[in-house]
């Protein structure tokens, strides 16, 4: 009889219950979309931040320690071996290493006697890994924000990029030739393949092939540092604790940390792979990532909360209107001997049936909305997180209960004598 009465009410008041279902569907769709986006946003933000370059810098350990502890450079210059660079791709998180490029700094003396900063790197370098596999990496991959007017240099072709400011100083442009004097006084030429604008030191220096710079500074087979771009998991408390000192982690924490692609654990593994190296996460990137993520997640939570509150208010209004409209019916039930509990349960059953219907539609609508957000904002699909369904179901139940409370209170205070006879 209970379900018969619920069914009758649902059919008779179908327009009202359709509105309740629609309100719930809207709230749930927003909540489902936001939660799915929120759970996937870490990876998305990470990918976005990859556009801002390397997030790990590998330097010689001694140079790094002196710099860290005393803030000074070693008198005796330390280098990393160029042949060790490919070992970066042998770590546990090898697939997360997107690109890397070495850097060797020096000075180039032009034939007019002017000395200009010089950097050697790989542009589009084919690296053969210890596994026998080959990959192409270099500045073209890692310095995605560089703007080159002209062309990127070809390796071994005697070509160079000249920074925008330096080019203005020297009065050169793409296609010109630079004349320099080598360390033994011999003269040579470098062809300016392009003018680079990056907003950093590269704007005031010459960037060219690593081998050329090694020859100029007399450091064959050596590099100052390697910049690495890796896909990482955003920092959390465990990552920060490990970054401070990995030795302070418990065995279990260490296992979790080592097997999670935190920037600090990837850096740690690079140090293990390259002898005598110190791999430092670029804190600005890691921290920006964490902050952006935290704020974006907060925004998503806020939108989820607000959408559910709005839906609860909508449900509350609709249910209250429904109760007022049907007050005689509920008064009659009470006059016939229905308890407050049985009448409240009936009303809740009606609301929950409409709400669950709307919730199911809203959940799948939310998945579509999440994909639309993913495509519009990140240009890729959002991964569907199965945990979102039970979370949304619990939130929806809470929303329906909270939304029904004013109506239930009204129902409890309903006196049969008032609604049936008036008094």
Can you point out the beta strands (E) in 198-237?
A: 206-209, 222-223, 225-230
Q: How far is the CB of 329 from another protein (least distance, A)?
A: 6
Q: How far is the CB of 314 from another protein (least distance, A)?
A: 24
How many residues can be counted in the chain? 423
Q: How far is the CB of 328 from another protein (least distance, A)?
A: 7
Decide whether 174 or 338 has the Cβ nearer to another protein. Answer: 338
Please tell me whether residue 156 binds another protein under the rule CB under 8 A. no
Nearest to 62, CA basis, from 279, 277, 282, 281 = 277
Q: Residues 396 to 415: which contact another protein by CB under 8 A?
A: 415
In order, the DSSP letters of 169-201 are HHT--TT-EEEEE-TTS-EEEEEEEEEEE-SSG
Stretch binding another protein (CB under 8 A), from 31-39, 161-169, 262-270, 327-335: 327-335
Stretch binding another protein (CB under 8 A), from 7-15, 192-200, 244-252, 293-301: 7-15
Nearest to 28, CA basis, from 368, 410, 360, 420 = 360
Q: How far is the CB of 341 from another protein (least distance, A)?
A: 10
Q: Is 244 exposed, middle or buried (0-12, 13-18, 19+ CB in 10 A)?
A: exposed
Q: How far is the CB of 23 from another protein (least distance, A)?
A: 22
Report the alpha-carbon distance of residue 353 to residue 82 in Å, rounded.
67
Q: How far is the CB of 1 from another protein (least distance, A)?
A: 4
Please tell me whether residue 20 binds another protein under the rule CB under 8 A. no
SS (H, E, C) 27-68: HHHHHHHHHHHHHHHHHHHHHHHHCCCCCEEEEEHHHHHHHH
Report the alpha-carbon distance of residue 34 to residue 374 in Å, rounded.
11
Stretch binding another protein (CB under 8 A), from 215-223, 326-334, 347-355, 385-393: 326-334
Q: Which of 84, 176, 204, 329 binds another protein (CB under 8 A)?
A: 329
Decide whether 248 or 421 has the Cβ nearer to another protein. Answer: 421
Report the alpha-carbon distance of residue 423 to residue 420 in Å, rounded.
9
- What interhelical angle do 14-50 and 388-413 show, nearest 10? 150
Decide whether 185 or 422 has the Cβ nearer to another protein. Answer: 422
Q: How far is the CB of 416 from another protein (least distance, A)?
A: 5
Decide whether 342 or 380 has the Cβ nearer to another protein. Answer: 342
Q: How far is the CB of 339 from another protein (least distance, A)?
A: 6
Q: How far is the CB of 321 from another protein (least distance, A)?
A: 17
Q: In 213-242, which positions are buried (b, 16+ CB within 10 angstroms) versus exposed (e)?
A: bbbbbebeebbbbbbbbbbbbbbeebbeeb
Decide whether 15 or 76 has the Cβ nearer to another protein. Answer: 15
Q: How far is the CB of 407 from another protein (least distance, A)?
A: 19
Size of the site for another protein (CB under 8 A): 26
Q: Which of 4, 245, 251, 376 binds another protein (CB under 8 A)?
A: 4
Q: How far is the CB of 420 from another protein (least distance, A)?
A: 6
Decide whether 168 or 338 has the Cβ nearer to another protein. Answer: 338
Distances (CA, A) of 408 to 156, 341, 397, 400: 81, 10, 15, 12
Report the alpha-carbon distance of residue 279 to residue 225 in Å, rounded.
9
- Interface map 90-119 toward another protein (x if CB under 8 A): ------------------------------
Nearest to 65, CA basis, from 278, 238, 241, 267 = 278
Q: Which of 1, 51, 72, 386 binds another protein (CB under 8 A)?
A: 1
Decide whether 69 or 336 has the Cβ nearer to another protein. Answer: 336
Decide whether 136 or 339 has the Cβ nearer to another protein. Answer: 339
Please tell me whether residue 9 binds another protein under the rule CB under 8 A. yes
- Interface map 330-349 toward another protein (x if CB under 8 A): --xxxxxxxx--x-------
Report the alpha-carbon distance of residue 205 to residue 116 in Å, rounded.
6
Please tell me whether residue 2 binds another protein under the rule CB under 8 A. yes
Which run of H or E residues covers position 312? helix 283-325
CB 211 within 8 A of CB 156: yes
Please tell me whether residue 144 binds another protein under the rule CB under 8 A. no
Would you tell me which residues interact with another protein (CB under 8 A)?
A: 1-2, 4-5, 8-9, 11-12, 328-329, 332-339, 342, 415-417, 420-423
């Amino acid at each position: 009889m209970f379900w018969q009465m619920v069914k009758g009410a649902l059919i008779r008041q179908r327009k009202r219950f359709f509105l309740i279902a629609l309100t719930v569907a809207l709230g749930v769709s927003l909540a489902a979309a936001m939660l799915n986006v929120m759970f996937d946003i870490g990876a998305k933000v990470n990918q976005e931040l990859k556009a801002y370059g390397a997030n790990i810098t590998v330097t010689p350990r001694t140079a790094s320690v002196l710099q860290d502890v005393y803030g000074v450079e070693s008198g005796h210059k330390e280098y990393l071996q160029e042949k060790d660079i490919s070992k970066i791709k042998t770590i546990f998180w090898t697939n997360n290493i997107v690109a890397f490029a070495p850097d060797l700094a020096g000075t180039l003396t032009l034939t007019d006697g002017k000395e200009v900063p010089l950097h050697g790197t790989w542009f589009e370098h084919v690296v053969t890994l210890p596994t026998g596999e080959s990959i192409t990496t270099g500045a073209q991959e890692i310095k995605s924000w560089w703007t080159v007017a002209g062309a990127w240099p070809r390796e071994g072709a005697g070509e160079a990029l000249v920074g925008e400011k330096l080019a203005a100083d020297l009065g050169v442009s793409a296609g010109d030739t630079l004349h320099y004097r080598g360390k033994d006084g011999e003269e040579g030429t470098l062809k300016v393949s392009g003018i680079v604008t990056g907003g950093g030191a590269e704007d005031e220096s010459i960037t060219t092939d690593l081998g050329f710079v090694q020859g100029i500074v007399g450091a064959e087979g050596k590099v100052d540092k390697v910049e690495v771009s890796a896909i990482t998991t955003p920092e959390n408390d465990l990552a920060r604790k490990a970054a401070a000192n990995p030795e302070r982690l418990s065995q279990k924490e260490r296992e979790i940390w080592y097997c999670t692609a935190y920037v600090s654990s990837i850096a740690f593994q690079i140090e293990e792979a390259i002898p005598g190296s110190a791999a430092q996460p670029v804190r600005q990137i890691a921290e920006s990532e964490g902050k952006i993520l935290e704020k974006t997640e907060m925004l998503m939570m806020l939108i989820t909360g607000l959408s559910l509150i709005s839906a609860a208010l909508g449900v509350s209004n609709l249910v209250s209107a429904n109760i007022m409209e049907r007050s005689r019916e509920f008064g009659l039930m009470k006059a016939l001997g229905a308890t407050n509990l049985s009448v409240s349960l009936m009303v809740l059953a009606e609301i929950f049936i409409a709400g669950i219907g709307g919730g199911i539609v809203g959940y799948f609508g939310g998945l579509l909305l999440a994909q639309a957000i993913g495509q519009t904002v990140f240009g890729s699909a959002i991964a569907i997180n199965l945990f979102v369904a039970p979370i949304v179901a619990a939130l929806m139940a809470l929303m329906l209960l909270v939304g029904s409370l004013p109506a239930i209170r009204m129902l409890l205070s309903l006196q049969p004598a008032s609604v049936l006879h008036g008094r």
